[in-house]
Structure 1
Amino acid sequence: GELATVATDIYSLGAMLYELLADKPPPPPSSATKCSPDDASRLMCSLERLPSQSVTDAKTKHELQGQLDRIVERAMEKEPSKRYPSVAGLASDIEQYLNGKAVSRTSGAQLGGARRTAKTRRRWYIAAPVVGIILLAAWLFLLRGKVASLKDYTMTHKTAPVAPAAIPNGSIRSIAVLPFEPLGKNVNGELLGLGMADAVIGRMSSLKQLLVVPTSAVLKYKGPSGDPLAAGRALHVDAILTGTVQQSGDRLRVTVQLVGSGSGRTLWSEKFDQTFTDIFGIQDSISDKVSRSLVRDLTEDQQKHLSKHYTNNTAAYDSYLMGLYFWNQRSKDSLEKAIEYFRQAVERDPSYALAYAMMADCYYLQLYYGFNSAPDRIRNAKAAAERALQLDDSVAEGHVATAMVQFYQNGDGAITELAHQGSMESLRRAVALNPNLAIAHQRYAWALCAFGHLDDGVPEMKLAQELDPLSPTNNTALGIILAFARQFREALEYCHKAAELDPNSGPIQENLAYAYTLNGMYQQAIERYQKELDLNPGNKAVVLASVATFLVAAGRSADAEGIMRELTDLSKAGKADPYDMRQGRSLRYDAAICCPRREGASVRMVR
């Protein structure tokens, strides 16, 4: 037999929980299918340890799938090192489930395996009564109606929430709201969880006393829960708001928790249980309670914004969220999808001003990136932006879209003084309406730089990056503006970070090459230009011209001459523009008045 260890204790408790949930003991290890390296065999071995696979009742099977299966599976892992590292860890996950919260997904191996000191061994005897009580409660309630009774118990016997008054005034200056984790098997659960977070972010974004990171910054945390404290550190915020959301029939159960990023201490928590049709009411309640716990003496306008609904149509809101997701990707295909989803949103709710504003920005981005240069792009962008502001002049995104249209009002990309004044006014209005809108600060920074106000543009771009620190766009944009300001080392730092966040973006690789050049690192610049060429073969002539320039600077004239001969052949075949061969790609805006450039170098103003 196996020597008694914490790992074997964990396995025994997992088997006990399996039997309580499934009304039958788990299959003995000897009957398990021998696991081969292929995915199918591993899946079969895993399924045999799941209690949901041992029941026939559809309702019970549905309830067991997910969290409870996950707890049992981890406790009964074949490899001891992959089980819970302690009984306390198992108890914690069971308690998390009973309280309607997501359980941990961290493997035992990640937490240090099953090898424990005598001190840890003694903790089992301390934690055993806790686990025993929890398992006994599970057994009693499962006998009375399986898992549903257990969940009803937790809804009526919940612990008291942490009072908002416990948070010192002004101690939290920045917050990230992560997508709520869906519980159960609702096919729209992930979208529902993202929608809850986006709604809270939108309502709190007008609070000037609090930095609220935008939805685009937390999209990467959509899906299975990870480590919220790690997210807080990555986003550089003081606090993280996490939550779970579960739809059961016509009921919607939401649990939220505000946690200090540094201490990991729960600062505030609350549970909500209302009808699904009142989802916007739940969002109002969460936004109001969190805001009042963090900011004292809210103004009348701020109180109004906390309860503002851009739409009351849940289907329109779902379409908007899908559009937002694709808008954030910035590729040709994703922008087309975003436009379609925003169009669906306004068809379902013709008064949805925010969806019109985002649709306008998609049309502008198609034109800006050269994905679609048809004349109707700017006309469509203008019409959508105007409609957004007609419906609601307080939508900051509508003023951002209007500013971009004003830059292109001549239809040829030329920027007149009138367009400059109008666009700057629109961008200032957007920043005033929503001081936490990262895209407004980013576009404002580009505009300031383009017209010679570099000293004002740098802090604006830094604020955009601070609001969305994990955005490749904001990091590469800050890097380029710092390069314009001749802060070359810092420019390289942010361009490098952007390339780490999005290694498959040609423009971002191009900007990193430019930053390497400014720091005299020509070989690294050449390597990045070659990577851009791999990502964007259609840009071959310009990339080769840049590479040739830096080969000369690196003292490799012979290699440069070989590339120039290749460029000459491309030019004769009509595949290279002689002007591009001499100059490289020019900036979208005529920013020569504020931008230091090396001969042959080109940059991308990524938006």
Structure 2
Amino acid sequence: MNTRNEYIYEFGDFCVDAVNHLLLRRGRPVPLKPKAFDTLLILVKNRGRVIEKDELMELLWADTFVEEANLSQNIYELRKALGESAREPYYIENVPKRGYRFVGEVKESVVAKHADKVEEDSDKTIKSLAVLPFKPLITEERDEFLEIGIADTLITGLSGIGQIIVRPISAIRKYADSSQDPLAAGREMKVDAVLEGSIQKSGDRLRVNVRLLSVRDESTIWADKFDENFTDIFTLQDSISEKVAAALSLKLTSEGRLRLTKRHTENAEVHQLFLKCRYYWHKWTPESWQKSIEYGSQAVSLDPTHAPSYSWMGASYCTLGIFGIVSPKKAFTKAKELVEKALSLDPTLSEAHEVLGAIKLFYEWDLASVADSLKRAIELNPSNATARDLYALYLTAIGQTDAAVSEVKQALEVDPLSLIINTDVGYILYFARRYRQAAEQLQKTLELDPYFAHARYALSFVYLQEELFDEAIEEINKAVTFSGRDAASSAELGYAYAVAGRSSEARKVLSELEKQSKHGYVDPYHIALVYIGLDDKNHAFKWLDKAYSERSREVIYLKANPVCDPLRSDPRYADLLRRVGLP
């Protein structure tokens, strides 16, 4: 049997556990991304020596090209975790024009582990989990809100611990069919384990059977039965969460235990209304976002202190604003009011920080603090794939496209089947001018769902940059059909006609958009887009100025978007970037 030595390094209040890949402060885990931990481990192992930036990047990203900004971001996150700054470094010294040196006093101790045992343990360790929608024992008595809701609550609790990747509710909704094979679902989602359950509601009683299954060897890791009064659903959910955590051998700190079983209300009716609020948000249609707001409003009318309902109503208003369904001022102002209320009641809500980050990015253009909000969301819930996706979009907006690609791929690791995140990978590659990779990514996304209009719009813009005009127009027409929009007022189609040289058709779309703008809300950027395609810069800047005044979310991408390339030499373009605050 081979023996391999690993080490534990102690300095100040901190301990770097190389065996378990953990940074501890006074015995409590400090959240760190894997690359940030690797950076710290390299620095500690080479303490006292200046490690050149090139050497450090080669060790961290061998065979992968990344920008120096990625390393700077890792160092920033480390300093934040260690409670220091670049101006007052206690442990990590910046050596100008060279690299970094770890200057803290380190105590090193050896932990011997058998190499073959390490490999065996590693194979059995569960690092990712999917909690499937619970199923009714009697199909005719199903309650979809309850089935999805229990799964949703367990996902929130388990992901908040931060020790295991838990697929988000958006990833598991598609597996609600009672005939779904749980192990097949687990393999498709690329997880190590799945949690499945069945429900029978009989009068005031709720009977639940739960199994935790290993996807790798198809064995049952743990199983149990629960029988509670329906009014005691909170006790039921707490019991399942704690037993699953124990079965997964998760080491719960006191803070982790509180997050696992945290309750925001003792009122079962409020909880049911909140489950409907979240359920409809995830349906991802304008009508469902309005319904989400209705159920959230009912929940807070019964319990004005229910922070999650405020947060998810804020998410609905934010999404309505992002997609231009409601004017940005109305949508984002209401979203911020609601999310600030949520955070005043509970500052540990990951989703609330995520929504606040989206508001700062897409409406307020507060680029100085977007990252703080989104990083806080990720710190509170490392399985928050949407926050990671938004952070990648922020990096894209400020021109750090290589770092954005790296970040969005981390979001994809958390939620590999997400249509939105898969599409955003394609969009970011498009913004990075990596058109062939963008096309391949978007085609893979459409293999997941050929009717996903957002991906077809993205693919059409890639084709336009490659001057594949017929293919682009075909993709837009499909997207228009699948999204239920009107081709006559499709700005994307108008732009495609314009750059393809079909100016008369482009002007027809333009005319329809301008007519609609006199009677209702039309995103001014959409009109500017068609004028850009027609190479009419004066009208393009007129409508871009209007988009700036009305806070169109597309304005944040002016620096990165290839569509704007014809405008870059015009002084008005630089002035617009300056006003938005883009570097």
Residues 450-505 of structure 1 show CA distances to partners (whole Å, capped at 9, x for unaligned) of 12333332222122222222222111111111223344343223322433445445
Tell me the distance in 1 between the aligned counterparts of 2:291 and 2:204.
31
Tell me the distance in 2 between the aligned counterparts of 1:249 and 1:197.
22
- Which structure 2 residues correspond to residues 52-91 of structure 1 after superposition, within 5 A? none
Q: Which of 335, 338, 345 does residue 381 from structure 1 map onto?
A: 335
Quote the offset at 1:358 in angstroms.
0.8
Residue 429 of structure 1 is matched in structure 2 by 376
Residues 29-55 of structure 1 show CA distances to partners (whole Å, capped at 9, x for unaligned) of xxxxxxxxxxxxxxxxxxxxxxxxxxx
Quote the offset at 1:362 in angstroms.
1.0
Residue 566 of structure 1 is matched in structure 2 by 505
Residue 439 of structure 1 is matched in structure 2 by 386
Quote the offset at 1:509 in angstroms.
1.8
Matched, 1:526 2:526: no
Matched, 1:548 2:524: no
Residue 26 of structure 2 is matched in structure 1 by none
Q: Which of 443, 446, 449 does residue 396 from structure 2 map onto?
A: 449
**Structure 1 contact 169–294 (Cα < 8 Å) conserved:** no
Distance 1:189 1:582, change over 3 A: closer
Distance 1:299 1:596, change over 3 A: farther
2:297 maps to amino acid: R
2:296 maps to amino acid: F
Residue 279 of structure 1 is matched in structure 2 by 233
Residue 462 of structure 2 is matched in structure 1 by 515
Residue 216 of structure 1 is matched in structure 2 by 170
Q: Which of 583, 602, 607 does residue 532 from structure 2 map onto?
A: 583
Matched, 1:351 2:300: no
**Structure 2 contact 280–289 (Cα < 8 Å) conserved:** yes
Could you tell me the percent identity over the aligned residues? Answer: 36
Residue 203 of structure 1 is matched in structure 2 by 157
Quote the offset at 1:524 in angstroms.
2.7
**Structure 1 contact 495–515 (Cα < 8 Å) conserved:** no
Quote the offset at 1:195 in angstroms.
1.8
Residue 294 of structure 1 is matched in structure 2 by 248
1:472 maps to amino acid: L
Tell me the distance in 1 between the aligned counterparts of 2:465 and 2:510.
28
1:494 maps to amino acid: Q
**Structure 1 contact 219–325 (Cα < 8 Å) conserved:** no
Residue 240 of structure 1 is matched in structure 2 by 194
Quote the offset at 1:304 in angstroms.
1.6
Distance 1:594 1:263, change over 3 A: same
1:580 maps to amino acid: L
**Structure 2 contact 322–328 (Cα < 8 Å) conserved:** no
Distance 1:526 1:490, change over 3 A: same
Unpaired runs of at least 5, structure 1:
1-165, 552-559, 602-607
Secondary structure of the residue aligned to 1:244 is strand
**Structure 1 contact 482–490 (Cα < 8 Å) conserved:** yes
Please give the TM-score of this superposition, normalised by the length of structure 1.
0.63
Quote the offset at 1:570 in angstroms.
5.2
Secondary structure of the residue aligned to 2:531 is helix
Comparing both structures, which one devotes a greater share of its residues to strand?
2
Distance 1:255 1:542, change over 3 A: same
Q: Which of 394, 409, 416 does residue 469 from structure 1 map onto?
A: 416
Tell me the distance in 2 between the aligned counterparts of 1:570 and 1:539.
6
Tell me the distance in 2 between the aligned counterparts of 1:300 and 1:436.
20
Tell me the distance in 2 between the aligned counterparts of 1:368 and 1:304.
34
Quote the offset at 1:373 in angstroms.
0.8
**Structure 1 contact 240–259 (Cα < 8 Å) conserved:** yes
* Corresponding residue pairs, total: 419
Distance 1:392 1:570, change over 3 A: closer
* Further displaced range: 489-498 or 342-351: 489-498
Residue 182 of structure 2 is matched in structure 1 by 228
Residue 175 of structure 1 is matched in structure 2 by 129
**Structure 2 contact 161–259 (Cα < 8 Å) conserved:** no
Residue 364 of structure 1 is matched in structure 2 by 318
Larger radius of gyration: 1
Q: Which of 357, 360, 363 does residue 403 from structure 1 map onto?
A: 357
Tell me the distance in 2 between the aligned counterparts of 1:491 and 1:472.
14
**Structure 2 contact 183–218 (Cα < 8 Å) conserved:** yes
Distance 1:262 1:524, change over 3 A: farther
Tell me the distance in 2 between the aligned counterparts of 1:483 and 1:568.
26
Residues 68-102 of structure 1 show CA distances to partners (whole Å, capped at 9, x for unaligned) of xxxxxxxxxxxxxxxxxxxxxxxxxxxxxxxxxxx
Tell me the distance in 2 between the aligned counterparts of 1:168 and 1:542.
52
Tell me the distance in 2 between the aligned counterparts of 1:249 and 1:306.
28
Residue 481 of structure 1 is matched in structure 2 by 428
**Structure 2 contact 488–509 (Cα < 8 Å) conserved:** no
* Further displaced range: 571-580 or 522-531: 571-580
**Structure 1 contact 541–581 (Cα < 8 Å) conserved:** no
Tell me the distance in 1 between the aligned counterparts of 2:357 and 2:374.
6
Quote the offset at 1:433 in angstroms.
0.6
Quote the offset at 1:241 in angstroms.
0.7
Secondary structure of the residue aligned to 1:172 is coil
Tell me the distance in 1 between the aligned counterparts of 2:372 and 2:129.
29
Residue 18 of structure 1 is matched in structure 2 by none
Matched, 1:306 2:260: yes
2:407 maps to amino acid: E
Tell me the distance in 1 between the aligned counterparts of 2:364 and 2:225.
54
Please give the TM-score of this superposition, normalised by the length of structure 2.
0.66
Secondary structure of the residue aligned to 1:421 is coil
Residue 537 of structure 1 is matched in structure 2 by 486
Tell me the distance in 2 between the aligned counterparts of 1:472 and 1:314.
33
Secondary structure of the residue aligned to 1:430 is helix
Tell me the distance in 1 between the aligned counterparts of 2:354 and 2:527.
36
Tell me the distance in 2 between the aligned counterparts of 1:273 and 1:366.
41
- Which structure 2 residues correspond to residues 8-157 of structure 1 after superposition, within 5 A? none
Distance 1:275 1:376, change over 3 A: same
1:266 maps to amino acid: T
**Structure 1 contact 169–296 (Cα < 8 Å) conserved:** no
Quote the offset at 1:209 in angstroms.
2.4
Secondary structure of the residue aligned to 1:371 is coil
Unpaired runs of at least 5, structure 2:
1-119, 517-525, 534-539, 545-552, 568-583
Distance 1:326 1:298, change over 3 A: same
Q: Which of 386, 393, 407 does residue 460 from structure 1 map onto?
A: 407
**Structure 1 contact 526–550 (Cα < 8 Å) conserved:** no
2:223 maps to amino acid: S
Tell me the distance in 1 between the aligned counterparts of 2:265 and 2:304.
10
Distance 1:425 1:522, change over 3 A: same
